[in-house]
Chains A and B, each alone.
Chain A
């Protein structure tokens, strides 16, 4: 999307640098884009406009704070061991003492979708649990999760 001016000098926008891909020498194109994901980009633009400079930072801090709280509560159950030491943001990975697939099945009966079984993607991470906590989760929900895991 390129900025330009109209014939009266007023600012306007056009699709630019598009012709060379599919209209001129099209059999030599280096991309074949047609429809795109612009509606999703629009949603994100509106979200970023709403959150702005301060809001985005506050959301990030909420995510980090709630993830840290959840990590602490889960560690307190005695069912997990840490896997990595580096700082985490809104996701963290823990090693479960038993079969993590079984843990997720147990939680599903309680209407909770548990963490992701990272071992499905990385063999060396067998029986680990990738947990994501965002600003949308409440302390109460986190406490319930830790309570059900510890049962």
Chain B
């Protein structure tokens, strides 16, 4: 089949139009009458000139060259690529949610404020926190907000020497990055042999200069840290606070709560755990929850319930301020709200139970074919090592590329950093046994290919729109925006 891979700019024909605008019903002035010449651009914007059908076909073709959750299994570890129920989209598209503006009088957006207020309450219940703010745009933004809250808390107590954040070596890359952006120094602690935080290293790391610990539980090895109570005590006794990275919250819904484990600050990724779309990278939503003693520092405004209805409280002098204009990615919050109401308390618990069961099923079926560095029951994701295949000349990257030929998005690879040739598989609860069995069969076949025909795996993929891409070239010679072939001015 003919595959047209030209860019929309390259389809442009001078004079072609896709738009239709209503007749102008007011007297239209000449542009030169409205504006002095120096405010007008001399050359027209270099935008494509295409027909409506050109646009439709171009973007439809692009969408078909993408693998998404709606096209197939997507076991990208730590990203929780679960199916996104379509009813969430219907809820978010209701005109009363979609067509409001954040500057409206609160009296005219009571429904939206009520939804945000209730969402705060439901996420507080799920995480064991006392208050949740919905403003951060995504997980890493939530991390930054949480760290700024921790900083504000210490500084409010006139304690200015706490400049360090302790982070285990299994942490998501955003944790140290967020700590650095928030102005902290990062102190890395090693993991113990069982994959959990090494308690002795943690004790040694603690001092009156440590502001807090950032932890993901279950961690990125897919393992629940059983010592979490002890860890919380160690950190609290040294005057630090505990930050919970909620990226792996899909393992614990309705089963355990960060607030009960001893965490003081939590972020959640609505685009992971609560089934809102990752949609080509976003928009995400990263609500932040805190325990009572930190509520004053939350970014704002907060939605409060008064005797005349819901209102936005801007009068919070200790607040770290706004993390984002207005109230966060509200449309995403509506989707997650619809999801929580659809699932209910019992349903959410079943989500995590099934997610954990699915990961353990994959572990049991694949552990004879791939190395399993932590041979113990896992939570919602399982971490293998491709070391056995590496010795045959097939890297984990090769295995990931080969999976594309079977119609799967590969797992997260080379992360966590402490596992060599790492493959981190997160099936999520929305996949059937049949889907898991087909994926397992593909992984078993690739393990066989690595032994019998390693060149086949190294040359993959064969069935995708493009073959293996030269990433070094892209980084060495960055071409980051469209440059017209004609060499004309943009």
Q: Which residues of A contact B (CB under 8 A)?
A: 1-8, 10-14, 16-17, 21-23, 26-40, 42, 46, 48-59, 61-62, 64-66, 68-69, 87, 104, 108, 113, 116, 135, 138-140, 142
Instruction: Enumerate chain B residues within 8 angstroms of A7, measured Cβ to Cβ.
Output: 467-470
Instruction: Enumerate chain B residues within 8 angstroms of A69, measured Cβ to Cβ.
Output: 26-27
Task: Choose one: B36, B286, B475; the contact of A17 (CB below 8 Å).
Answer: B475
Task: Choose one: A2, A29, A53, A135; the contact of B181 (CB below 8 Å).
Answer: A29
With contacts A23-B173, A35-B140 taken as known, whether A40 is within 8 angstroms of B469 at the C-beta atoms is no
Q: Are the CB atoms of A113 and B26 closer together than 8 Å?
A: no
Q: Are the CB atoms of A87 and B283 closer together than 8 Å?
A: no
B17 CB-CB contact with A under 8 Å:
yes
Q: Which residues of B contact A (CB under 8 A)?
A: 5, 8, 12, 16-19, 21-22, 24-29, 31, 34-36, 39, 44-50, 52, 55, 58-59, 101, 103-105, 107-108, 137-140, 143-144, 167, 173-174, 176-181, 185-186, 188, 269, 271, 277-284, 286, 465-471, 473-475, 478-480
Known: A28-B180, A59-B21, A139-B25. 11 other contacts (CB 8 A): A4-B469, A16-B474, A27-B179, A27-B186, A34-B174, A35-B140, A52-B49, A55-B19, A64-B29, A66-B26, A108-B107
- Specify the chain A residue showing the minimal Cβ separation from B479: A3
- Specify the chain A residue showing the minimal Cβ separation from B278: A35
**Bound complex: CA A35 to CA B27 (Å):** 45
Q: Are the CB atoms of B467 and A6 closer together than 8 Å?
A: yes
With contacts A32-B143, A52-B19 taken as known, whether A4 is within 8 angstroms of B474 at the C-beta atoms is yes
With contacts A27-B180, A56-B47 taken as known, whether A16 is within 8 angstroms of B26 at the C-beta atoms is no
Instruction: Enumerate chain A residues within 8 angstroms of B140, measured Cβ to Cβ.
Output: 32-35
**Bound complex: CA A56 to CA B25 (Å):** 18
Task: Choose one: A34, A87, A116; the contact of B39 (CB below 8 Å).
Answer: A87
Instruction: Enumerate chain B residues within 8 angstroms of A116, measured Cβ to Cβ.
Output: 103
Q: Are the CB atoms of A10 and B29 closer together than 8 Å?
A: no
Instruction: Enumerate chain A residues within 8 angstroms of B101, measured Cβ to Cβ.
Output: 113
> Secondary structure at chain B's binding surface: helix, strand, loop or mixed?
loop
With contacts A7-B468, A8-B467, A35-B138 taken as known, whether A64 is within 8 angstroms of B34 at the C-beta atoms is yes
Across chains A and B, the number of contacting residue pairs, with CB separation under 8 Å, is: 213
The interface centre, meaning the residue of B16, B17, B177, B269 with most chain A CB atoms within 10 A of its CB, is B177
Write the nearest CB–CB distance from B478 to chain A, whole angstroms.
5
Lowest 8 A-B CB distances belong to which pairs?
Answer: A22-B173, A35-B284, A39-B279, A35-B138, A29-B177, A55-B19, A2-B474, A38-B281
Write the nearest CB–CB distance from A28 to chain B, whole angstroms.
6
- Specify the chain B residue showing the minimal Cβ separation from A40: B283
Q: Are the CB atoms of B176 and A51 closer together than 8 Å?
A: no
Instruction: Enumerate chain A residues within 8 angstroms of B479, measured Cβ to Cβ.
Output: 2-4
**Bound complex: CA A142 to CA B24 (Å):** 13
Q: Are the CB atoms of A108 and B52 closer together than 8 Å?
A: no
Instruction: Enumerate chain A residues within 8 angstroms of B478, measured Cβ to Cβ.
Output: 2, 16-17
Q: Are the CB atoms of B25 and A138 closer together than 8 Å?
A: yes
Write the nearest CB–CB distance from A64 to chain B, whole angstroms.
6
Task: Choose one: A61, A108, A140; the contact of B105 (CB below 8 Å).
Answer: A108
Write the nearest CB–CB distance from A69 to chain B, whole angstroms.
4
Instruction: Enumerate chain B residues within 8 angstroms of A113, measured Cβ to Cβ.
Output: 101, 104-105, 108
Q: Are the CB atoms of B467 and A10 closer together than 8 Å?
A: yes
Q: Are the CB atoms of A65 and B59 closer together than 8 Å?
A: no
With contacts A35-B139, A65-B24, A87-B39 taken as known, whether A30 is within 8 angstroms of B19 at the C-beta atoms is no
Q: Are the CB atoms of B469 and A14 closer together than 8 Å?
A: yes
Q: Are the CB atoms of A38 and B279 closer together than 8 Å?
A: yes
Q: Are the CB atoms of B8 and A34 closer together than 8 Å?
A: no
